[in-house]
Chain A
Amino acid sequence: MPSPRYTREIPQRFRLEAARCQGCKNIQFPPRRVCPECGGREFAPMRLKETGTIATYTIIHVAPDQFAVETPYAVGIVDMDDGVKLMCQITDCTPDELEIGRKVELVFRRVQREGPSGLICYGYKARLVRD
């Protein structure tokens, strides 16, 4: 994970910075220049709320190298309460606890590392909301 690419995404990965299209009000995460819904070019910055529900998920058993030691781990698509969807791991749970529709909150975790000498990359993961 090269530093420039990692550092550039920090506002999104650390603070969930997104952008609301001023034309159709849809939220883009990450922010972009052209709204895919209405073609608009004007956006207002905002931060996503940290809660959502599980739209779908899987448990990875065969992983890329830098994640190999963590298998099995869960990855899901979260329907954020703000209306956007994002993809992230689902942490602090056992596979049998996962269900489409369960509420989650985003937490700050280490997502990957470049081996023993490279960059440590942080970002968001989802965690089941437990009452």
Chain B
Amino acid sequence: MIGIVGYGSYVPCFRIKAEHIARQWGNDPTAVKKGLLLEEKTVPGMDEDTITISVAAARYALQRAGIDPQEIGAVYIGSESHPYAVKPSGTVLADALGIGPEVHVADFEFACKAGSEAMFVAYSHVRSGVMKYALGVGADTSQGAPNDALEYTASAGGAAFIMGTERVVAEILATTSYTSDTADFWRREHQFYPQHTGRFTGDPAYFRHVLGASRALLEKSGYKPEDFRYAIFHMPNGKFPLRAGQILGFTREQLEPGWIVPYMGNTYSGSSPTGLAATLDVAQPDDLIFMVSFGSGAGSDGFIFKVTERINEVRDKAPTFQDMLQRHRIHLNYAEYAKYREKIIMNS
């Protein structure tokens, strides 16, 4: 049996409400919230970044896995907001957790699906037998351009998954990936904010790849939507994942625990991985879970998980997603948000 041995997510404590952003730009808060199905998003603290978020999530994953970190053979962080342009994030995570020095490390980038790619590669290393455990993390602190639709949703957070062959909590039954060169959203070097193509990000990008991967995964595995207890799709806003689910034949109930975007926002590479972690927090043994990510550029990774008995032993060994989402929140106004997100021009 090969699959997730330990998992963890991380939610920063700062928030900004969609209505504060709307008022800043003279938009109608009600219309915005209704259009995006989003109330507020997380904001990284001034001392947080993709690396610190990865360390927090990975520590929780390690607590649940209950293994010696020295047995982890690879550490991969997928993000589109790695703190350095050149210098790996993964090495900081490895040293922070006491992994290595005999460990494979590389950083992944594929817009919002860098995290699920890191999970897939970690799983593959374990499946191929070259190592006992491997860690894949998706985390981001991405920026949304001021007065742009993405400013409402671009948020911070992440989730970490230790893959292995022993002490499995959720077995991986099938995987797939569906990719094409579709430039719906990108960021050139030295640009602070990304570019996106408006409505082109919908059907030709998100839906083509999410549905493509989903259908391939269902066909490959022989399962039907009703076989699954839960499903998670990448969440650029509240509406897209619900629509994808609906098109494929999943019910709203199946999506519920993993549909974290209304109070979290879109944590980019952390989005569907955190949705998965939130789902594992409530799943029961034998539950089947369907997960499909999406990264602009574009592609989707799909996974089918089957939860084992061990989930009930590990769930409470670390904070749950809802725990962190609800326990302690500090709301910022737009000026504080702009300061935190370094949108204010300073002398360097």
> Hey, which bits of chain A sit against chain B, CB under 8 A?
10, 14-15, 69-70, 89, 91-92, 94, 107-111, 115-116, 120, 122, 125, 130
Contact = CB atoms under 8 A, between A and B. Distances in A.
Interface stretch (B90-98, B165-173, B177-185, B310-318): B90-98
Contacts, number: 50
B29 interface: no
B46 interface: yes
A91 B45 contact: yes
A10 B330 CA distance: 30
Interface of B: 13, 45-49, 51-52, 55-56, 59, 83-84, 92, 95-96, 98, 327-328, 330, 339, 346, 348
Nearest to A113: B83
A125 B83 CA distance: 19
Contact of B339 (A10, A69, A92, A109): A69
A10 to B, nearest CB: 6
Contact of B45 (A92, A111, A120): A92
B51 A122 contact: yes
10 contacts: A10-B95, A15-B95, A70-B47, A107-B52, A107-B56, A108-B56, A109-B52, A110-B83, A115-B348, A122-B51
Contacts of B49: 110, 120
B46 A70 contact: yes
A130 B59 CA distance: 19
A105 to B, nearest CB: 11
B45 A108 contact: no
B348 A15 contact: no
A110 B52 contact: yes
A91 B47 contact: yes
B163 to A, nearest CB: 22
**Among B47, B49, B96, B346: residue with most chain A CB under 10 A:** B47
Given A69-B346, A116-B348, A120-B84, A109 B48 contact: yes
B339 A108 contact: no
A94 B330 contact: yes
